[in-house]
């Protein structure tokens, strides 16, 4: 027996009615926990998370939706078909034994609280992550650097068992749904073809092998000179996981932003594109405070119009936070400009990787000479000596990111293949040595992988940054070559184009069709790879 489209629509309408308040409450709880770090907020997050899962707990409803999904080819309306696809993936993502789901919620909340509240110890003092990062960026003292680097990893031991247990539980859910492991299941739920992704990642590794080797050799030579050491160790690099290019003393990008109001620069940037972010800024929580989440994110609370979009950050007047603010507000404008007349389920981004693409494209303006002079107001004569170094740094940035993302991709795949394997510490460092060309400290056997928040709390996510980078390069190329004919960031036409081609349609189309629709071609890694070699 087939269901009529009208019956499907009526089910969806009823479902939205139940979903909307829970979704809102869950986001509110998330925001409260991140801004206060209290135990009460943590409990609220767990209970709203459970209420959310409950919405998807009725197995017969799931079977119904699954049937519609499998027969969706016969639905005439593509809008309804897309809703069925999203509804099914949302249901499928929450199937599982109630006890296991509850346990996962609890452990995630627990891990989240540990990452938020943990402070590494340097010179006998508890030290914020911002401070640790600063030591690694600027200190010339190898001993202090080593202490800061080790402190940055100290959270690993506290969460290691939690992370392994989370991986086991996530795998249990995957097995019950017939998947080999959580990694495979997650890709399926994210509408990403595992074979295609593996091909893409292998391709990126091969394309960056030589350029990265050459780059790293040059970098090591610089660092040996700078620190007067023979062997470069991880703490000589300028961040805990070698995700960014090290500081170079002949290029000070922080000076562009010293003493400046980064929130105002963010507003100015989006003004030029014709996007209003004053409402978002007003609802945001932007400066450091005790007990507050030390990272940054963008959150949309509910889906009713006008949208309630907020950003959490911990602004310092430097290049890192400029990049981060532009990045998070990239997510924010995407969320804010989704067509409110779309059905509820489509009133969201097309995919994690399309919203990352916008965020990355915007964040990278922070070291784009054109933006730094025209929007951030740094006089061109001050910038002139930096131009070549900025271009080198940009390339270094992408190379380093790609190699780091490959470590995460390969590590997580292995973690979910066998969360019980005893040699995870070794595996992590094998990958870091092979792919990032960073040597492990002699004898080190610590759960350094667990110190990376994403491994615990944003699993099977990193490839979306990679896809985001590729999409960002392709989209910017299209905007500047075919839409604007110049820098996109000072063009209201570019803003309108983004609104019409990317933000407005929300989740109306799959991510692949969104990329095709916005750039006229399927995802093509060439634009990104060209910038690396």
Where on the chain is the footprint of Zn ion (CB under 5 A)?
359
Residue number, 80 or 359, with CB nearest to Zn ion: 359
Minimum distance of Zn ion from residue 330's CB (angstroms): 8
DSSP collapsed to 3 states, 192-224: CCHHHHHHHHHHHHHHHHHHHHHHHHHHHHHHH
Minimal distance, residue 22 CB to Zn ion, in Å:
24
Could you give the dihedral angle defined by the CA atoms of residues 421, 422, 424 and 430, in that order, rounded to the nearest 10 degrees?
-110
Q: Are 278 and 267 in contact (CB under 8 A)?
A: yes
| Torsion from C-alpha of 16, 9, 335, 18, nearest 10 degrees | 0
The Cα–Cα gap between 517 and 334 comes to: 16
Phi, psi of 526 (to 5 degrees): -55, -40
Q: Given the complex with Zn ion, which of 136 and 359 has the nearer CB atom?
A: 359
Nearer to Zn ion, 359 or 466 (CB): 359
Q: Which parts of 129-190 are beta strand (E)?
A: none
Measured at the CA of 331, the angle between CA 90 and CA 273, to 5 degrees, comes to 140
Cα–Cα dist 313/337, whole Å: 21
User: Judged by CB, which is closer to Zn ion: 299, or 431?
Assistant: 299
CB 327 to Zn ion: min, Å:
6
Ramachandran bin of 288, using left for φ above 0, alpha for ψ from -120 to 50, beta for the remaining angles? beta
CB 487 within 8 A of CB 480: yes
Q: Give the nearest distance from C-beta 467 to Zn ion in angstroms.
A: 12
331 vs 440 by CB, closer to Zn ion: 331
Which residue, 19 or 350, is less far from Zn ion as judged by CB?
Answer: 350
Question: Minimum distance from CB of 509 to Zn ion (Å)?
Answer: 21
Q: Count Cβ atoms below 10 Å from residue 328 Cβ, excluding itself.
A: 24
Shortest Å distance, C-beta 352 to Zn ion? 9
* Nearest distance from C-beta of residue 286 to Zn ion, angstroms: 16
The one-character DSSP state at 479 is: I
Using Cβ positions, the residue closest to Zn ion within the complex turns out to be 359
Question: Contact at 8 Å (CB) between 224 and 216?
Answer: no
Select 85 or 368, whichever has its Cβ closest to Zn ion.
Answer: 368
**Number of alpha carbons in the 13 Å side-chain half-sphere of residue 101:** 19
**123-127 own/partner pairs: CB under 8 Å, 24+ apart:** 123/147, 127/151
In the complex, least distance from residue 391 CB atom to Zn ion, rounded to whole angstroms:
24
Minimum CB distance to Zn ion, residue 331 (Å): 6
Residue pair 228/294 in contact by the 8 Å Cβ criterion: no
Q: Which is nearer to Zn ion, 322 or 359 (CB)?
A: 359
In angstroms, rounded to a whole number, what is the distance separating the alpha carbons of residues 468 and 494? 18
Whether the Cβ atoms of residue 351 and residue 517 lie closer than 8 Å to each other: no
CB of 356 to Zn ion, least distance (A): 5
Nearest CA to 199 among 409, 354, 455, 400? 409
Minimum distance from residue 217 beta carbon to Zn ion (Å)? 31
Considering beta carbons, is residue 68 or 321 the nearer one to Zn ion? 321
Q: What is the CA radius of gyration of the chain?
A: 23
Of the pair 84, 333, the CB lying nearest Zn ion is at 333
Residue with smaller CB distance to Zn ion, 246 or 468: 468
**Contact status, residue 446 vs residue 153, Cβ threshold 8 Å:** yes
Residue 80 or 515 having the CB closest to Zn ion: 515
382's CB contacts (< 8 A; 6+ apart) are: none
State in angstroms the smallest separation of the CB of 469 from Zn ion. 11
Taking the complex as a whole, the smallest distance from the CB of residue 401 to Zn ion amounts, in Å, to: 13
CB 54 within 8 Å of CB 77: no
Would you list the DSSP string of 500-530? IIIITTTTSS-HHHHHHHHHSSS--THHHHH
Identity of the residue, 465 or 488, whose beta carbon is nearer to Zn ion in the bound complex: 465
β-bridge partners, 298: 311
Q: Pairing relation of β-strands 125-127 and 297-301? A: unpaired
């Amino acid at each position: 027996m087939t269901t009529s489209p009208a019956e499907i629509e009526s089910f969806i309408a009823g479902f939205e009615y139940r979903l909307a308040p829970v979704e809102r409450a869950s986001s509110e709880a998330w925001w409260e926990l991140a801004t206060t770090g209290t135990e009460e907020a943590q409990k609220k997050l767990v209970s709203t998370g459970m209420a959310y899962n409950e919405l998807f707990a009725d197995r017969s409803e799931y079977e119904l939706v699954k049937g519609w999904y499998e027969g969706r080819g016969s639905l005439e309306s593509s809008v309804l078909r897309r809703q069925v696809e999203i509804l099914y993936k949302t249901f499928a993502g929450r199937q599982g034994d109630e006890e296991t789901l509850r346990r996962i919620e609890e452990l995630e909340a627990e891990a989240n609280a540990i990452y938020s509240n943990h402070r590494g110890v340097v010179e006998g003092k508890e030290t914020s992550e911002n401070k640790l990062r600063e030591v690694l960026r600027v200190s010339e003292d190898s001993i202090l650097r080593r202490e800061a680097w080790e402190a940055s990893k100290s959270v690993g031991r506290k969460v290691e068992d939690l992370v392994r247990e989370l991986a086991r539980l996530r795998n249990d859910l995957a097995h019950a749904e017939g998947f080999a492991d959580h990694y495979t299941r997650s890709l399926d739920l994210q509408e990403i073809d595992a074979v295609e992704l593996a091909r893409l990642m292998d391709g990126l590794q091969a394309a960056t092998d030589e350029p990265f080797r050459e780059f790293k050799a040059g970098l090591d030579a610089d660092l040996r000179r700078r620190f007067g050491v023979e062997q470069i160790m991880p703490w000589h690099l300028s961040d805990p996981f070698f995700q960014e290019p090290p500081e170079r003393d002949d290029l000070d990008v922080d000076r562009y932003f010293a003493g400046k109001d980064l929130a105002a620069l963010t507003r100015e940037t989006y003004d030029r594109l014709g996007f209003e972010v004053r409402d978002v800024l007003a609802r945001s929580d932007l400066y450091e405070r005790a007990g507050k989440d030390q990272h940054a994110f963008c959150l949309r609370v509910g889906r009713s119009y006008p949208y309630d979009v907020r950003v959490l950050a911990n602004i310092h007047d430097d290049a890192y936070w400029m990049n981060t603010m532009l990045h998070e507000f990239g997510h924010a404008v995407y969320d804010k400009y989704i067509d409110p007349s779309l059905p509820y389920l489509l009133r969201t981004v097309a995919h994690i990787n399309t919203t990352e693409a916008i965020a990355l494209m915007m964040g990278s303006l922070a070291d784009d000479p054109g933006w730094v002079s025209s929007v951030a107001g740094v006089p061109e004569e001050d910038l002139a000596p930096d131009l070549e170094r900025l271009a080198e740094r940009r390339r270094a940035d992408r190379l380093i990111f790609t190699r780091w993302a490959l470590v995460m991709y390969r590590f997580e795949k292995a973690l979910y293949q066998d969360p019980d394997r005893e040699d995870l510490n070794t595996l992590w460092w094998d990958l870091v040595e092979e792919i990032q060309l960073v040597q492990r400290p002699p004898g080190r056997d610590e759960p350094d992988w667990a110190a990376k928040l994403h491994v615990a709390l944003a699993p099977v996510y990193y490839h979306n940054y990679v896809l985001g980078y590729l999409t960002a390069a392709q989209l910017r190329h299209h905007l500047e070559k075919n839409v604007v004919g110049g820098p996109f960031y000072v063009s209201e036409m570019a803003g309108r184009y983004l609104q019409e081609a990317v933000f407005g349609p929300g989740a109306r189309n799959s991510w692949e069709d969104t990329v095709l629709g916005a750039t006229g071609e399927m995802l093509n890694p060439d634009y990104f790879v060209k910038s690396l070699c």
